[in-house]
């Protein structure tokens, strides 16, 4: 059995992704989002450590939630890395729909979590210290990209499996995710 994604070195994970016989888009997206959330969390932590204005308790709750988000994204990365094997086992057991639901729910969840993290960091913009302002914007941009990529993975799975039951379950979720991504506001330039 292969080690969990989160226990591998970065080098080993990247090499493993490039050498697989199936694409690991979901695990890559979740891990990328986790890294972006960690960067954002660092910006909030640095800002709250040096914060002279009121609001450190609100910073603590933001840091705590970003820490939880990061753990959720890492768990999804590990889960998605084994999802294809689970899908194949369910399909061979005659429960193809359950496997398809798994492979649709994972990117939907990762997308929602990445959107939440980006929104949290957007709301923190007025409190961020100047020395990490650009890093916060990069984290927001990375999370927005991860959310977009996860949404595309869900859309791809729905294209591959045009099952009406699957569509009825996930098309409304897809529509909501597209709308929520549209409300994210990553900067297009740092020097504005």
**80 burial via Cβ count (<10 Å: 0-12, 13-18, 19+):** buried
**Average per-residue pLDDT in the chain?**
91
Please check whether residue 161 lies inside any domain of the structure: yes
Separation between Cα atoms, residue 146 and residue 115, nearest integer Å: 9
Please check whether residue 5 lies inside any domain of the structure: no
Please check whether residue 175 lies inside any domain of the structure: yes
Angle at 104 between CA 101 and CA 109, to 5 degrees: 115
Task: Give the pLDDT band of residue 126 (cuts 50, 70, 90).
Answer: very high
Evaluate if residue 55 carries a pLDDT over 70.
no
Residue in 186, 175, 191 with CA at minimum distance from that of residue 144 = 186
Whether the CB-CB separation of 69 and 26 falls below 8 Å is answered with no
Residue in 79, 80, 76, 83 with CA at minimum distance from that of residue 34 = 76
Task: Give the pLDDT band of residue 57 (cuts 50, 70, 90).
Answer: low
pLDDT at 50: 66
Separation between Cα atoms, residue 114 and residue 123, nearest integer Å: 14
- Residue 95 belongs to domain with CATH number: 1.20.120.680
pLDDT at 1: 61
Residue in 126, 111, 99, 108 with CA at minimum distance from that of residue 43 = 126
Please check whether residue 12 lies inside any domain of the structure: no
Task: Give the pLDDT band of residue 51 (cuts 50, 70, 90).
Answer: low
pLDDT at 2: 67
Sign of the dihedral defined by the CA atoms of residues 106, 112, 116, 122, in that order: positive
User: What's the full length of the chain, in residues?
Assistant: 192
**Which residue segment(s) compose the domain that 110 sits in?**
23-182
The tally of domains found in the chain comes to 1
Please check whether residue 101 lies inside any domain of the structure: yes
Evaluate if residue 144 carries a pLDDT over 60.
yes
Q: What is the pLDDT of residues 1-46, one digit of tens each?
A: 667 888 888 998 889 889 888 888 999 999 999 999 999 999 999 9
Q: What is the pLDDT of residues 88-103, one digit of tens each?
A: 888 899 988 889 999 9
Structure tokens at 147: 């959310």
Please check whether residue 176 lies inside any domain of the structure: yes
DSSP-derived 3-state class of residue 183 = coil
pLDDT at 84: 82
């Amino acid at each position: 059995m292969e080690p969990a994604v989160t226990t591998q070195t970065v080098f080993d994970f990247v090499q493993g992704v490039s050498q697989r016989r199936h694409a690991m888009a979901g695990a890559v997206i979740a891990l990328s989002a986790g890294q972006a959330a960690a960067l954002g969390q660092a910006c909030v932590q640095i800002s709250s450590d040096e914060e002279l204005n009121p609001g450190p308790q609100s910073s603590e709750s933001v840091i705590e939630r970003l820490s939880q988000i990061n753990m959720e994204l890492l768990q999804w990365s590990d889960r998605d890395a084994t999802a294809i094997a689970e899908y194949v086992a369910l399909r061979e057991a005659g429960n193809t729909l359950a496997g398809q639901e798994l492979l649709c729910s994972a990117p939907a969840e990762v997308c929602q979590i990445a959107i939440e993290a980006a929104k949290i960091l957007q709301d923190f913009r007025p409190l961020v210290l100047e020395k990490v302002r650009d890093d916060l914007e990069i984290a927001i941009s990375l999370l927005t990209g991860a959310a977009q990529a996860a949404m595309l993975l869900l859309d791809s799975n729905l294209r591959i499996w045009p099952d009406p039951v699957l569509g009825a379950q996930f098309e409304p979720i897809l529509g909501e995710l597209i709308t929520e991504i549209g409300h994210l506001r990553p900067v297009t330039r740092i020097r504005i």
